[in-house]
Amino acid sequence: MSQQPISLSEFRKAAYSAYQWTSFDPDKRAASTLTEHEAQLNEDLKQIPETEHERYISNYKKYFGAWLAARGNCASSMITGPANFNIRRNEKANNLEHKRYGELMQWRDRALAAIKRHVEEARPQEVKDAEAWESLERTLRSSASTIEGINNGTERGYNKALFVSSIYNKVETYAKRGDTEMVARAVALIEELNQSSRIISARHKFFKLPELAAVNKQKQEDNQNRENTGVDFIGGRAVNNFAENRLQLIFDEKPSSDIIAALKRNAFKWSPNAGAWQRQLTGNAVYAAKSLLKEFGLWLLKEKQ
């Protein structure tokens, strides 16, 4: 059942006030603003489940209303007149208005991303697996078709080695994840296509990928039962989370903006579920974490098992 479009008409008065001292036609600007944000809100709702609509609408209106209220304190000397125009006060009002609008947009981006992530996590694994294989098979067949054309001379100006490498790299990604089933299907497909035209030589390392996938799958299974280790640093703890294959930096308090910027530069992402800044657990990740913590004088207290 389709939902009626959401209206923001309840903000008509606030929208008028938002442009009363900055526009020669505040009614027109108010109407335009409401139309623009109604369209944005209703377009957003098309992307998210109905179960999330009520909360999303409520939060959107909260941030939207806060922005309009802040904008209502802004003025233009061309509208109010230059006499006794308080430039300093208006500068503060403008800064707050920009901040409130930024908060609306930042909240919107975060909310849509979180909802999309939750929807994806809720999808049945067999559906995700089927879609992943469909995408991989389509890519492999496309590359194999080009290689076949190179072999029989209908495709000129192409480098066969590059297409072979492309096939290898795509399937290797699944092997590194320990996805033995996906790798087995990919190898079986290439073996089938090899019957009509040699896509990849039987001696190529591509055909060793099932072994790599099996090794990585076993590592993952072993890590599920492996106890986490970590080290304390000033103001937090670094944890090797083997089950999740993540290096996690857990701070006692929210880190400064400079530290957050450095974390992002070093590929760490904030995980609300884990309450940590984290990235894939690799030697490079460990090196990056140590360097970052040393840079800010936070390394090192003691090893913690």
Per-residue model confidence as pLDDT tens digits over 12-68:
999 999 999 899 999 999 999 999 999 999 999 999 999 999 999 999 999 999 999
Residue 165 has a pLDDT of: 97
Rounded CA gap, 186 and 193, in Å?
A: 11
State pTM to two decimals. Answer: 0.59
Strands in 246-251's sheet, in edge-to-edge order, are 269-271, 276-280, 246-251, 236-241, 229-233, 303-304
Would the pLDDT of 301 be above 70? no
Instruction: Please name the helix (run of DSSP H) or strand (run of DSSP E) that holds residue 297, with its range, or none.
Output: none
Categorize the per-residue pLDDT at 304 as very low, low, confident or very high, splitting at 50, 70 and 90.
very low
> How do residues 201-249 score in pLDDT, each as one tens digit?
999 999 999 999 999 999 889 888 889 999 999 999 999 999 889 999 9
Extents of the domains making up the chain: 9-122, 125-222, 229-304
Q: Give percent of the chain above pLDDT 70.
A: 96
Radius of gyration of the chain (CA): 28
Query: Which ranges in 72-124 belong to alpha helices (H)?
Result: 77-80, 87-122
Contact 9, 34 (CB under 8 A): yes
> How do residues 85-142 score in pLDDT, each as one tens digit?
778 888 999 999 999 999 999 999 999 999 998 888 888 999 999 999 999 999 999 9
Residue among 243, 245, 277, 253 nearest 263 (CA): 277
Residue 52 has a pLDDT of: 93
Neighbouring-strand partners of residue 271: 276
Rounded CA gap, 103 and 111, in Å?
A: 12
Rounded CA gap, 226 and 97, in Å?
A: 51
Contacts of 5 (CB under 8 A, 6+ apart): 38, 42
* Average of per-residue pLDDT across 163-174: 97
* Average of per-residue pLDDT across 171-187: 97
Rounded CA gap, 4 and 142, in Å?
A: 44
Query: Which ranges in the chain belong to alpha helices (H)?
Result: 12-19, 26-47, 53-71, 77-80, 87-122, 125-152, 160-177, 180-193, 209-224, 257-265, 283-295
Residue among 84, 46, 37, 89 nearest 64 (CA): 37
Contacts of 270 (CB under 8 A, 6+ apart): 276, 277
Rounded CA gap, 146 and 274, in Å?
A: 45
Neighbouring-strand partners of residue 248: 239, 278
Rounded CA gap, 88 and 67, in Å?
A: 20
Contacts of 247 (CB under 8 A, 6+ apart): 238, 239, 240, 241, 278, 279, 280, 281, 282, 285, 286, 289
